Amino acid sequence: MKEGNEKDWIDRLMHDMKKLEDAHQAEAPRQYELMHTLTQFKRQRKKAWMRELAIFIFTALIILATYFVVSLRVPVVFLWVQIIAFIAIPIIYTAEKKRRRSLSEVLDDGF
C-alpha cells in the first residue's frame, strides 16, 4: 500500500511539473513584432537626437551671445544672463530628469 501511495504521489508531482513547464513556455517573437520594436526604437533615437541637436545649437547661440555681450562690455546684460541661467538650469535639469523617468530611460547623473 505504501508503494501505491508513493507511485500516485510521484505521478501527481510529474503531472504538476508538466503543467508548470507548459505554462512557462516562451514564444519566440515574430518578425513583424521585432521589426515594429526596431522601428519604434529608431524613431525614439531620432527624436532624442533632434532634441539634443536643438539643445546644442541653443547652447552654442547662448555662448555666442554671451561672448558678444562681454566683448561689447555690457556688464548689466551679462549679469542678467547669469542670474537667469542660475535660475533656469536647475529647473531644466529637474524637468529633463522627470521626463526621462517617465520614459524609463537610463539616467546618468555622473556619479
Average pLDDT value over all residues in the chain: 82
Q: What is the pLDDT of residue 106?
A: 55
Classify each residue of 71-100 as buried b or exposed e, where b means 16 or more C-beta atoms within 10 Å of its C-beta.
eeeeeeeeeeeeeeeeeeeeeeeeeeeeee
C-alpha cell recorded at residue 100: 526621462
Q: What is the pLDDT of residue 39?
A: 92
Regions of the chain short of the pLDDT cut 50: 1, 111
